[in-house]
Amino acid sequence: MLEERIDALVSQLTETEYGVNPFDLVRFRADPADETITGIVRQVVADGAEGAELFRASPTESLDLIGTHALRRTLQARRQSSLAMAMDALDAYALVAVVADVPWATWVMGALYFARELGGDVVMLHERFASIASARSSARFEVALDALRRVSDLSRCRLSEVSTTYGAGLVENPELSDMPGRGLYPSPALGHERIGYEPRTNLAQLSVDVADALDATHLATSAEIVQDQLPTTLVPAARTGPYLRTSACLRFMASAGESSFIAYVAELSDEDDQDVEELGESARGVEGQLAVCDERRLIVMSPQPTFEDSASGDVDLIAFEQLSRSALASSSTPFSH
């Protein structure tokens, strides 16, 4: 009976689809799938350790949405100041089959941080997680709980909160070692330096404005907005090592017909004395790229290789110059953190 019930829940999860990009936690939009998956997780949790073990034993690809749901529920806990949603996120992490797939140092810490700030009892959270998680996950969760004692703000969870017309969002603060080279001229990731997010202007809103404007043209479709670094291979005049020195940098992929490109939206660090106009001109000198800038911010769109014999699929990024300039002009007001 229990096996049949769990099998039915796994089948329901497999058939569940998001009507929005579930990975975009800057332009977050609620979706009916959020509540569907929450219901599935709660039913599995109600069946205790045995039900959870059967659930995790299902084919891994059937459970892919559980980790994504946990990220979204963590953000929803923040947006709605909901302890129940933070607990939903932690329950979902307990049901992830592969321990290495759980973002212990970032999103789990974030869910714990929000739960604690919302009045959650740490002992109760520990007992609840241990009652349904595998032994390995429980041991790793104890490490996270111990680390939580030293967490005084969200940045210690390697997460930063952003605010846009979509409401509160979250971006992960990666380490350079997490970031593989990408694009036509990839730069290697070096060391374990943590990337901070400390813009003086609302860079997230600027990124949203650019991405939404691209989508509105129907010539390109943007993907999720995430934090990154701008490789200096795309800005040859930069004199700062493999990455441009910034106070913050966001990026998103975009597809345009058979082609694709990466859009970087960066704010230069106060420590960088390079002229942004010089950097913008340098970026425009790279074949196929678009770059626009204002006093401290730089938008670079860089085409990706298509591996096609014909160049007919190449996108002309110049078509997006005016919308990029308009976004810069309309999103320049400094804000306080």
Please give the chain's pLDDT, 337 residues, in tens. Answer: 999 999 999 999 999 999 999 999 999 999 999 999 999 999 999 999 999 999 999 988 889 899 999 999 999 999 999 999 999 999 999 999 999 999 999 999 999 999 999 999 999 999 999 999 999 999 999 999 999 999 999 999 999 999 999 999 999 998 865 444 444 444 434 444 668 899 999 999 999 999 999 999 999 999 999 999 999 999 999 988 899 999 999 999 999 988 999 999 999 988 777 899 999 999 999 999 999 999 999 999 999 987 665 555 567 899 999 999 999 998 765 554 4
Q: Count Cα atoms within 13 angstroms, Cβ side, for 46.
A: 10
Residue 141 has a CB neighbour count (10 Å cut-off) of 23
Q: Residues 258, 265: contact at Cβ < 8 Å? A: no
Distance CA(93)–CA(74), nearest Å, equals 11
* Residue 136, both tokens: 């390995």
Q: Residues 97, 134: contact at Cβ < 8 Å? A: no
Q: Where are the domains of the chain?
A: 2-156, 174-330
Cα–Cα distances in angstroms (integers) from residue 13 to residues 2, 9, 46, 137, in the given order: 17, 6, 16, 22
Taking the model in full, what pTM does it have?
0.90
